Amino acid sequence: MVREALLIAGKDLRIEGRSRVVASQVLPFALLSLVLFAFALNANRQALRDFTPGLFWVAVLFSALLAIQRAFAIEAADKTSDSLRLSGIEPAAIFAGKTIAVVVQLLALEALLLVGVLIFYEASIDSYPLLGVTALVAAIGVAAAGTMYGALIAGIRGSETLLPILLLPVLAPVLIGATRAFDDAFGSAAVNGWAWLVLLALFAVVYLLFGLLSYGVLLEES
């Protein structure tokens, strides 16, 4: 199971390494959204600094949609989804593998965005541990939920337009929790960020459980 999951994750990351779709399209998009937010807020330094956490996570969520779409586009292109079903790999392992690959890509995305807000928004970091743990736990939650919903709509024509409306309401609690935790980490609001991590962790656990227990049901239909 672990071996299979790592096989899938390694395969997805290797494909990304070759095609560089996320690196050359999704990461620039994430940076672009930071720039657009600055225009939207009239480049008001105070406002940008105050709202850095929220803007950061909105950028992450929108970019994550693209990364998740990509993760399922590579299986749809030449019907490798059928080959995966024929291979006998446990559905739970496919779920775990794809989730790991998305987590790795989201962490890269978050790192880039962090550099972006430090430079463009002049954000300053109060608590590095809180920042790091939040980034990781939120990425796991987003990736797990995204992998579930990606498989849920795999094989549907027009699924690109369906993913945002299905996934973004689900990710709303992650946006709230991660923004609050970052408020604490950046020192932009007096809240207890560690408490919000509990919510993020709960979310991640719920979707990891869903995926590990029921991914096969979704694969049957794609």
Partner 1 sequence: MTTNPTASRHTRVFGLISLFGFALVALLGLFLTEPDDVQGDLVRIIYVHVPLPIMAYVGFVVGAVASGLFLKNRNPFADLVACSAIEVGVIFGVLTLITGAVWGSPSWGTYWEWGDVRLVSMLVLVLLYVGYLALRQIPGDADATATRSAMMALMSVVMIPIVRYSVDWWKNDTLHQQASLTDGKLEDLTLFTLLLSILVFGFFFVWLTTHRFRVAWLEHQIAEVGLVDAIAERRAEAADGVQAAIANPGGES
Partner 2 sequence: MSTVHLRDVVALLGRFPALAGVNLAIDPGEVVLLQGPNGAGKTTLLRVCAGLIRPTSGTAEILGYNAANQGKQIRRRVGLIAHSTGLYGDLSVVENVEFWARASAVAEPLATALEAIERLGIAERLHDLAVDRLSAGQRRRTSIAAMVVRRPEIWLLDEPHAGLDQSGRDIVDALILDAAAAGATVIVASHELERVGRLKPRAVTIAGGAVLSAAESQDDVAEDDVAEDDVVEDDVEVSRGS
Interface with partner 2 includes 220 (CB under 8 A)?
Answer: yes
Interface with partner 1 includes 144 (CB under 8 A)?
Answer: no
Tokens of 135: 């980034």
Binding segment for partner 1 among 6-14, 17-25, 54-62, 202-210 (CB under 8 A)? 202-210
Interface with partner 1 includes 201 (CB under 8 A)?
Answer: no
Q: If contact means CB under 5 to 8 A according to the sort of partner, which of partner 1, partner 2, none does residue 221 touch?
A: partner 1
Contacts of 129 (CB under 8 A, 6+ apart): none
Widest Cα–Cα separation across the chain: 56
Binding segment for partner 2 among 14-22, 127-135, 156-164, 168-176 (CB under 8 A)? 14-22
Distance set, CA 77 to CA 90, 91, 109, 184, 217 (Å):
22, 20, 24, 43, 21
Q: If contact means CB under 5 to 8 A according to the sort of partner, which of partner 2, partner 1, none does residue 88 touch?
A: partner 2
Give the shortest CB-154-to-partner 2 separation in angstroms.
14
Interface with partner 1 includes 199 (CB under 8 A)?
Answer: yes
Binding segment for partner 2 among 65-73, 75-83, 163-171, 186-194 (CB under 8 A)? 75-83
Tokens of 216: 């096969």
Q: What angle in degrees, to the nearest 10, is found between the helix axes of 52-76 and 128-152?
A: 40
What are the two backbone dihedrals, phi and then psi, of residue 126, each rounded to the nearest 5 degrees? -90, -45
For 51, the enclosing helix (H) or strand (E) is none
Interface with partner 1 includes 36 (CB under 8 A)?
Answer: no
